[in-house]
């Protein structure tokens, strides 16, 4: 596997260098930025938390001083609430903007030999993941028709969690799994990845486990290769 920083010198969109003879691009795609904001940046949960905080602040501002009767709304100083609401709105806008820029700078590529992930906003990285280095893949469907495809690497291969974020499987910190996030056609891409994986591992038995909402394909006898460049 190789990580490069040469987005400006791409030989083709999403590819840092020209493909070798016999290798071809089969599919390219990017995350849905709205679903990425919800599932990777947790905008919906954070917005709910902010709403609860504003509700608590409203109760505190209108609570009676002496324990008798609520304050008339006209007598309440709403400036603290307006300041808090402005800050919360700014925070959500920054999260949404980051999700949009992250999706805009991302391009996933499937060739008949590997998965290529071009990710990053300011610092762009391109990860080459040959199918021979992918031990298993899992598909997790989401609401709205999108889904994530997580790629588990062989034990001797590892990519830093911070290098991948937010393109990694949640809660897999010690063994990060590169993940194609929030794909609008995740079911079709999952089946395509499975067929390409099988073609590259001719003669090895593969199986597809789980339902359509959580399918997994793995190699029970992974080859003992070193890290590839």
Nearest to 188 by CA among 132, 149, 136: 149
Report, as an integer, the average pLDDT of 5-19: 74
DSSP letters, 97-147, are HHHHHHHHT-EEEEESSEEEEEE-SSS-EEEEEEGGGEEEEEEEE-TTS-E
Tens-place pLDDT, residues 178-226: 999 999 999 999 999 989 988 887 756 444 443 344 445 555 444 433 3
Tens-place pLDDT, residues 40-93: 999 999 999 999 999 999 988 888 777 667 777 777 788 999 999 999 999 999
pTM flag (> 0.85): no
Judged against a pLDDT cut of 90, whether residue 1 lies above it is answered with no
Q: For residue 20, give both structure tokens.
A: 């070798």
Confidence at residue 146, expressed as pLDDT on a 0 to 100 scale: 92
Judged against a pLDDT cut of 50, whether residue 174 lies above it is answered with yes
What are 218's strand-pairing partners?
Answer: 136, 207
Whole-angstrom Cα distance, residue 94 to residue 46?
12
Q: Are 55 and 88 in contact (CB under 8 A)?
A: no
Q: For residue 127, give both structure tokens.
A: 């990860």
Nearest to 125 by CA among 30, 18, 5: 5
Confidence at residue 158, expressed as pLDDT on a 0 to 100 scale: 87
pLDDT level of residue 143 (50, 70, 90 thresholds): confident
Domain boundaries, the chain: 2-12+110-218, 37-102
Confidence at residue 9, expressed as pLDDT on a 0 to 100 scale: 64
- Average pLDDT value over all residues in the chain: 84
């Amino acid at each position: 596997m190789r990580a490069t920083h040469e987005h400006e010198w791409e030989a083709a969109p999403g590819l840092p260098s020209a493909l070798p003879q016999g290798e071809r691009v089969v599919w390219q795609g990017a995350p849905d930025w709205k679903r990425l904001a919800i599932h990777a940046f947790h905008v919906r949960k954070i917005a709910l938390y902010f709403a609860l905080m504003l509700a608590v602040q409203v109760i505190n501002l209108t609570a009676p001083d002496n324990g008798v009767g609520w304050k008339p709304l006209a007598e309440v100083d709403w400036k603290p609430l307006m300041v808090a609401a402005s800050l919360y709105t700014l925070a959500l806008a920054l999260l949404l903007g980051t999700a949009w820029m992250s999706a805009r700078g991302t391009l996933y590529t499937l060739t008949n030999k590997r998965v290529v992930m071009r990710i990053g906003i300011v610092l762009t990285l391109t990860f080459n993941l040959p199918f021979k280095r992918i031990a298993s893949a899992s598909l997790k469907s989401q609401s709205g028709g999108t889904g994530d495809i997580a790629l588990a690497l062989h034990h001797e291969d590892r990519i830093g969690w911070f290098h991948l974020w937010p393109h990694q499987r949640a809660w897999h910190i010690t063994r990060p799994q590169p993940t194609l996030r929030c794909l609008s056609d995740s079911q079709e891409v999952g089946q395509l990845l499975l067929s390409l994986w099988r073609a590259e591992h001719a003669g090895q038995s593969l199986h597809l486990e789980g339902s359509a909402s959580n399918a997994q394909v793995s190699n029970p006898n992974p080859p003992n290769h070193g890290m590839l460049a």
